[in-house]
Structure 1
Amino acid sequence: MAFVLLTLLSAGIGVTLCYPADFQDLGGNGRNRTSIRFLVVGDWGGLPTSPYVTTEQTLTAQEMGNVAGQMGADFILALGDNFYFKGVDSVDSPRFQETFESVYTSKYLKVPWYVVAGNHDHAGNVKAQIEYSQKSDRWKFPSYYYELNFRIPNTGKTLTIIMLDTVMLCGNSDDFADAQPRAPLSAVDANRQLVWLQDRLARSKADFLLVAGHYPVWSVSEHGPTKCLLKKLRPLLLKHNVTAYLCGHDHNLQYLEETGVGYVVSGAGNFLDDDTRHWNHVPKDSLKFFTGKSSTKGGFVHAEVTDSKLFLTYFQAIGTSLFRTVLSQREFM
């Protein structure tokens, strides 16, 4: 009876639920070293018409390959708005080739891309992006939200990354209004994700615990702090001593730190915006770094997790690092 009930529940939940993952295999990349390295890029989704890419996307892709070759990258976090401006319509959409496969061509970027959806993706068919995981060797999008677990090589330490669908959680946003999501399309799906997140955070014993989504918790730029996430997510980040929250949505690079949690905005993969209208809407002294200058030509973040530290380095597409910060592993009471 219990098995039948579980089966029925699973069928009803469908693709929106993803149970805790096993530890991911770093393969040969995990030998003879003591860290995990990865890139973080958001809002990288090209254009819906020819040439299907922006100059910023092309240059950012090239520099991602350079940095991955020099500093290493075991995987990439792709944090939404993967296809401008209305996502894709099917798993056979040519956009997968035009905006992804034919752009990120460096051999150093032929690693797993762990994907979440952004507001522009939700304007199209997110299930088609999930299904593309079966057609691509590197596109890893198993569910709307999911958990990744890693062993940091030769250290005995662990890293967990919880990938969220913040559009499902909060609703889509209207960039022509105040850009704040109004309400989730399905309150049931939003609550199911929140309950899942609470459970995963409460259970986590990872030495480094990251949460990633599309919408920002804190941002000084056009979209500003996301009210829904301040209410639903921020208390959980603080309660469970999360190391950092990673996102995109605003088209620039930001680093904020508040009450021991790092907030990474990496949304410069395709466009740039130096808007700072919400400069005074974040906690005092929390903003440590910001750039949206067109002269940077795009940007992304390189992360390295060692046995005791998380190193975050911000890169501009024209080939130099802009900012670096360090976060310590979690402390358990």
Structure 2
Amino acid sequence: MALSSKERLVFRVVFVAAVLCSFITPSMAELPRFKHAPKKPQQSLHILVVGDWGRQGTNNQSFVADQMGIVGEKLDIDFVISTGDNFYEDGLKGVDDPAFYSSFVDIYTAHSLQKTWYSVLGNHDYRGDVEAQLSPALKQKDSRWLCLRSFILDGEIVEFFFVDTTPFVDEYFVDPGEHTYDWEGVLPRMSYLSQLLVDVDSALAKSKAKWKMVVGHHTINSAGHHGNTEELKQILVPILEAYNVDAYINGHDHCLEHIIDKNSGIHFLTSGGGSKAWSGDVKPWSSEELQLYYDGQGFMSMQITESNADIIFYDVYGKPLHSWSISKDRKESAWI
């Protein structure tokens, strides 16, 4: 069931009113919360971010994994964030699907990558057995694996709000083409989205963390192949802006990208270069906002302290492509 233009507008008005006027009663079903304390005494978190990767080692997935291992060792990372499309082309067929090993367990073998992988679902994951990918049975096969539809990761100085973005996209419901999506647990769609938005709103309202970052699979602002996701721009962005979210982190476009919204100051960070990339597939974008667009494979690191979040994008050879330091005083954000 697609969202009409009127319904989108209603969503936007209601939820902007909620965050600005505290109109909506907080949800009784709060998002699951996990805690990952920063290193002491430095009080810092070191993270790798990768998306759109699960191709059984092909399309340079293995090469990206090797470089992630090297950088992860150098940074002594705490955990990995996966921005979705974890298993191509059509997710997992079940909890015993060998793709879990051939695309994950047997690929990310470096010692430094034996940390928790906090993962969201992408649209390709929804083409398989979603409950299999969310199942605790996978964690029994590999203790690193943690994947939920939406949840909160509490890193004390930073909170990451993982949001299930696939059900927001009209196209998958009204024009799925030859693909079949597993909507068990999502239907009725309007109720699911309403509850999710209330939960995200409530979680952001309660957050006392220095940094607030939202993780989803789909792009919001992107010069890449898929471009902007209008449903998220209309419905989710007002909430991000109202609570001064520092960054939105995503995959979906198979590239590495950094956009700073000139109005809100939100950093839109795309790390979708875990395997297959789309060479030369880029749309025009304001040079004032677009800090990086790289149409190849790679990944991103983040080093977060109370005062700064330092990001670095790496290519398939582990070469740094772009570095930026985000300060809590956004006026001081700059190259590093």
| Aligned-residue offset at 1:136 | 2.2
| Aligned-residue offset at 1:234 | 1.2
Q: TM-score, normalising length from structure 2?
A: 0.81
Match of 1:71 in 2: 75
Select which of 27, 35, 41 maps to 1:23.
35
| Aligned-residue offset at 1:189 | 1.0
| Aligned-residue offset at 1:18 | 5.5
Match of 1:49 in 2: none
Match of 1:161 in 2: 160
Select which of 112, 132, 142 maps to 1:136.
142
Give the Cα–Cα distance (whole angstroms) in 2 for the partners of residues 270 and 175 of structure 1: 24
Give the Cα–Cα distance (whole angstroms) in 2 for the partners of residues 22 and 90 of structure 1: 25
Give the Cα–Cα distance (whole angstroms) in 1 for the partners of residues 315 and 204 of structure 2: 32
How do 1:14-93 and structure 2 match up within 5 A?
19-21=31-33, 23-25=35-37, 30-46=39-55, 52-93=56-97
Match of 1:8 in 2: none
Give the Cα–Cα distance (whole angstroms) in 2 for the partners of residues 288 and 176 of structure 1: 35
Task: Verify the 8 A CA contact 1:221 1:279 in the aligned structure 2.
Answer: no
Task: Verify the 8 A CA contact 2:32 2:150 in the aligned structure 1.
Answer: no
Amino acid of the structure 1 residue aligned with 2:54: G
Match of 1:125 in 2: 129
| Aligned-residue offset at 1:203 | 1.4
Task: Verify the 8 A CA contact 2:46 2:79 in the aligned structure 1.
Answer: yes
How do 1:175-194 and structure 2 match up within 5 A?
186-194=189-197
Task: Verify the 8 A CA contact 2:47 2:303 in the aligned structure 1.
Answer: yes
- Which secondary structure does the structure 2 equivalent of 1:245 belong to? strand
Note closer, same or farther for the CA distance 1:277–1:322 as it changes in structure 2 (3 Å cut): closer
| Aligned-residue offset at 1:126 | 1.4
Match of 1:10 in 2: none
Give the Cα–Cα distance (whole angstroms) in 1 for the partners of residues 110 and 141 of structure 2: 19
Task: Verify the 8 A CA contact 2:105 2:142 in the aligned structure 1.
Answer: no
- Which secondary structure does the structure 1 equivalent of 2:103 belong to? helix
Q: Over residues 272-291 of structure 1, what are the superposed CA-to-partner deviations in whole Å (9 max), with x where a residue is unaligned?
A: 113445324xx662111111
Give the Cα–Cα distance (whole angstroms) in 2 for the partners of residues 114 and 330 of structure 1: 28
Task: Verify the 8 A CA contact 2:31 2:150 in the aligned structure 1.
Answer: no
Note closer, same or farther for the CA distance 1:329–1:138 as it changes in structure 2 (3 Å cut): same
Give the Cα–Cα distance (whole angstroms) in 1 for the partners of residues 244 and 279 of structure 2: 31
Identity of aligned residues (%): 31
- Which secondary structure does the structure 2 equivalent of 1:148 belong to? strand
How do 1:125-274 and structure 2 match up within 5 A?
125-131=129-135, 132-141=138-147, 143-151=148-156, 158-171=157-170, 173=172, 186-258=189-261, 259-274=264-279
Give the Cα–Cα distance (whole angstroms) in 1 for the partners of residues 139 and 125 of structure 2: 15
Task: Verify the 8 A CA contact 2:84 2:119 in the aligned structure 1.
Answer: yes
Task: Verify the 8 A CA contact 2:259 2:289 in the aligned structure 1.
Answer: yes
Match of 1:108 in 2: 112
Task: Verify the 8 A CA contact 1:241 1:330 in the aligned structure 2.
Answer: no
Equivalent residues, number: 288
Amino acid of the structure 2 residue aligned with 1:39: L
- Which secondary structure does the structure 1 equivalent of 2:167 belong to? helix
| Aligned-residue offset at 1:72 | 2.1
Task: Verify the 8 A CA contact 1:36 1:306 in the aligned structure 2.
Answer: yes
Note closer, same or farther for the CA distance 1:224–1:275 as it changes in structure 2 (3 Å cut): farther
Task: Verify the 8 A CA contact 1:221 1:275 in the aligned structure 2.
Answer: no
Match of 2:11 in 1: none
Task: Verify the 8 A CA contact 2:37 2:154 in the aligned structure 1.
Answer: no
Task: Verify the 8 A CA contact 1:147 1:161 in the aligned structure 2.
Answer: yes
Gaps of 5+ in 2: 1-28, 179-185, 331-336
| Aligned-residue offset at 1:213 | 0.4
Q: Over residues 6-50 of structure 1, what are the superposed CA-to-partner deviations in whole Å (9 max), with x where a residue is unaligned?
A: xxxxxxxxxxx6635253356xxx24433100001010111xxxx
Give the Cα–Cα distance (whole angstroms) in 2 for the partners of residues 250 and 238 of structure 1: 23
Gaps of 5+ in 1: 1-16, 47-51, 152-157, 178-183
Note closer, same or farther for the CA distance 1:203–1:316 as it changes in structure 2 (3 Å cut): same
